[in-house]
Amino acid sequence: MAHDGKAHEQTVSSMLQALKAAGYRVTAARRAVVEAMQSSGHRSAREVVEEVRRRHPGVGRASVYRTLAILSKVCAVQPSLLGTTRAHYSAADQGSHHHFICNRCHRVIEFDECTAAGMVGDIEQRLGVRIQGHLLEFYGLCRSCLAAM
């Protein structure tokens, strides 16, 4: 198991590189967060905190939150739902909702068309579920933020 560290370093490096490239320092706390983010998909900030502290008890809560914010700023990590931290609802019978959300200024642009509707039948069959609605969000940089770079 002497090479675990090395093996990890490799998968980890793209996020760390993004940090360096943006002028941020690579520290133990940030390495720990990157390590946790590498190891799995979608998770809440709180879950990341727990995992980081399980493996690196010395790392403080605040550093995890701060690192997630930075990783998100350099686009090494995708925040869901606007980076807002609260519950969102929409009327069920109003069909589906589609947004483009700017990672930089958080502007939201809504649009209607959607190819996801075409997936509904297939997914219902394959998973044996009934689908009642869906949400599609694209993340990126809006026109004015692109211009400002």
Partner DNA sequence: CTAACTGCAAAGGGTTTGCAAGGGT
Partner DNA sequence: ACCCTTGCAAACCCTTTGCAGTTAG
Provide the binding-site residues for a second copy, judged by CB under 8 A. Answer: 14-15, 37-38, 41-46, 48, 68, 71-72, 75-81, 83-94, 97, 99-100, 102-103, 109-111, 113-116, 118-120, 123-124, 126-143, 146
- Tokens 């940089």 -> residue: 141
Rounded Cα–Cα distance for residues 139 and 63 (Å): 24
- 73 binds DNA, rule: CB under 7 A: no
Residue 116, Cβ density class (10 Å: 0-12 exposed, 13-18 middle, ≥19 buried): middle
**CB-wise, 2 or 129, nearer to a second copy?**
129
Rounded Cα–Cα distance for residues 49 and 80 (Å): 17
- 43 binds DNA, rule: CB under 7 A: no
**DSSP structure class, residue 127:** H
Contacting residue, 13, 24, 82, 120, with DNA by CB under 7 A: 24
**CB-wise, 66 or 107, nearer to DNA?**
66
What is the footprint of DNA within residues 2-21 (CB under 7 A)? 20
Rounded Cα–Cα distance for residues 143 and 98 (Å): 18
